Amino acid sequence: MTQNSKVAVVTGGAQGIGKAIVKAFLEKGWATVVADSDREAGEETSRELASLGTVVFIETDVSMEEQVEHLFQQTMRHFGRIDALINNAGISHNKALEYLTLEEWNRVLGVNLTGTFLCAKHASPHLKNTGGSIINIASTRAFMSEACTEAYSASKGGVVALSHALAVSLGPGIRVNCISPGWIETGPWKKKSRRTTAVLSEEDHLQHPAGRVGVPEDISSLVLYLVACEASFLTGSNIIADGGMTRKMIYS
């Protein structure tokens, strides 16, 4: 890490979209913190990407405030600054409503929504010092649903609303934006013990006006744009990155 390197913290950064975001920041010369509750995945990712730049793994359950505090204390100890927070950590418990327990509901909201709040709360004093940026990763499930996704959809709808509230509260010193991905194939970006090769049909791709299912790089490139000075007039925005799928009318 050079003296002038910027620093990004990526929650849920060990796998999937988060891992692609970490890789993109490293390739741009940013030092990057991988915050994840999966130690196996976090250590594996930090080893895999170490050749690209300075990457540090800090085991973190973002639903626990003391662990979030520790995350940012350790980040400041390592680097002395924070320029971007990417709130990407997310889980789901998709099951029929009558079988969804309160504990499962609270766990999904705790990680996906409360975790976003807690990380923004504890990162914001440091981001003010650098004129930094927060990017929250929501989902098109905030706007459309399949059956049995109540907890996940509710949590992501909350992330969208929280994002514009934070933008108003933290501006103009900190910009806050949100990305709502659609169908992103993350199998190749999982830890080795869970890595899969996508088997996608022509029909899967053609459900999207863009002509294909999304890949994690579609989101990571958007994150890099949103934290850049070229996006300085964007705050409080939610960008739907779904290949046009939510705009396509479907008739049986």
Residue whose token pair is 């990417």 = 86
Catalytic pick among 99, 152, 225, 251: 152
- Is 152 an active-site residue? yes
User: Is the distance from CB of 118 to CB of 66 less than 8 angstroms?
Assistant: no
Q: Of all helices (H) and strands (E), which one includes residue 210?
A: none
Distance of CA 28 to the CA centre of its chain: 18
| Cβ count near 249 (within 10 Å) | 4
Q: Is the dihedral of CA 120, 124, 125, 130 positive or negative?
A: positive
**Spatial distance between the Cα atoms of 187 and 40, rounded to a whole number of angstroms:** 16
Cα–Cα distance between 204 and 184 in angstroms, integer? Answer: 11
**Residues in CB range of 218: below 8 A, 6 or more apart:** 181, 184, 241
Would you name the residues annotated as active-site residues?
152
